Structure 1
């Protein structure tokens, strides 16, 4: 490897030593150290702010036009059994709720002063109307989750069958829960907390009581 001969270089090509430039460079370096970071290095990329990081985490919604969306006939051909099963579960639960009498008799004590005992205080609560009736409760339990899952699958995941699976699962959950609840009330259900105050059953004749409930109960 050849070593360059520095003595053979043109003396005019070597920059002369200028002490004023060295002092000026030192002053500029001191000024840069005193300036804030965003002023001393304007070309340096800044780190994203909290708002920018939050916007990056937000879902990128797309148009609700999933490529796997079938026609109504095709959807019905694939999912008719699921829909029919859910409707049958709800229908059976509704029939049990309207027509089925308690499967086992319920016995309870009845004598003068029963309302002041522990049992009477437990089942003698005043009757209170429902804040939300059964129809509204069922509608809210299905409609709101259905809309949320449909929006997420249609706008975010852009997949019809993902949303369909979620909604079918929701329908199965609500239908089977309603059916089992009706069976449990029919087989195991007991007296309501307002039983005494609402029915006011008759005290047995041995105690000389007279009932005021329906059918002289």
Structure 2
């Protein structure tokens, strides 16, 4: 299994090497060029990952039918396999956006907010191996983090990088005291399609 690629631009600041200072250098000596001490920014051009499309038979038609028409149409246009929560309260009024290389899903209830970003863009840096997650989500190596009450799981599935965020309406809510809810929602994600699959009887 590949490691988790960097989905956004990562800036690696490498301090420029400065020559050792000679204390005996007279004051009239020209100072070092200030530009030599500036951080070195290393970037990498994005790579479009190869997508593996699940078979049409694996589409959860019940979840697809539960999506509002606008969200369902966006799912069909998606350039990546679309996963969504199977809980009906999260499918009632979601925001689903499909762009050239990525798709995003967002929904909320009275108690939680859930977002899922799906992208086929990778950034590979020479000499830096992909990060290998130490957790497991949906039978794949994953990175799980918590930041200001928001739990995030990132993993690769179908050749695509998925990042699931879960936030409780109340920071003190027991449901967000651990990564249990995040893992539970991740395990419940279902496939609802994309441009790479044709569902018999489906209308554009």
Category of TM-score, reference length = shorter chain: under 0.3
Instruction: Compare CA radii of gyration and give the structure with the larger one.
Output: 1
TM-score by length of 2: 0.20
Identify the structure with the greater strand proportion: 2
TM-score by length of 1: 0.19
